[in-house]
Amino acid sequence: MSKYLDAVIVEHSPTNKAINRAVIWLHGLGASGHDFEPVVSQLGLANDMAVRFIFPHAPERAVTINGGMVMPAWYDILEMSIERKVDVSQIETSSQQIADLISREIERGIQPEHIVIAGFSQGGAVAYHLALSYPQRLAGLMALSTYFATNETISYSAANKDMPILIEHGTHDPVVPVVLGEQAEQLLSTKGYSVEYHTYPMAHQVCMPQIQGIGKWLNQVLA
């Protein structure tokens, strides 16, 4: 059995250049790697850019806040309080599974500094943990409608102290309150990270102006 998570792969290379960049993008609770697959063609990426998008599927596990129902989840959420009591060990396990995907891209010839880690909602909590603790410099971290669940337990990596970080949130988000996005931005800015923070008048979702902005950001950090 493969040690890698199953994933949806989308490649952007209009001029048929060899793929030399990668984005690993994690979906939210109960969703799948297909969730953000349609976004790639809407990003407006540069024609001379050759990027492999990897959208992994989360493992199936029981989720306490959903009555113990088994569904695609990066980790168990134990309480829906503002503090978000979560299973930290499962975040760490999922983070290692994404690190394995990074290793596979490196084996394929992509340098770690040309790999972006992105995550939406629950996937964003794993993205925070992985990118901020990863021992090699990455191209960037994108955290969408999410929260920094492991800020009290994470071992920060000096290698990614200057990594570009994009945090975006909906001002009307009923699932992950916008204050959690603000808290992550303030915490990381205080620690000296380079954080770009945007909000959009939306709920727990993405919108077209945001997608276009993400494309511009990716064009910059993957250039």
User: Which residues contact residue 83 at a Cβ distance below 8 angstroms, ignoring those fewer than 6 apart?
Assistant: none
User: Which residues contact residue 211 at a Cβ distance below 8 angstroms, ignoring those fewer than 6 apart?
Assistant: 39, 42, 43
The catalytic position among 121, 129, 133, 169 is 121
> How many CB atoms sit inside 10 A of residue 110's CB?
21
204 catalytic per annotation: yes
12 catalytic per annotation: no
The sign of the dihedral angle between the CA atoms of 87, 95, 209, 31 is negative
| Helix 88-107 vs helix 122-133: crossing angle, to nearest 10 | 60
94 catalytic per annotation: no
Q: How many residues does the chain have?
A: 223
Q: 97: closest CA among 130, 119, 71? A: 130
Q: On the CB side of 20, how many CA atoms lie within 13 Å of its CA?
A: 8
Q: 173: closest CA among 181, 165, 161? A: 181
Q: 145: closest CA among 118, 114, 164? A: 118
Q: So which residues are the catalytic ones?
A: 121, 173, 204
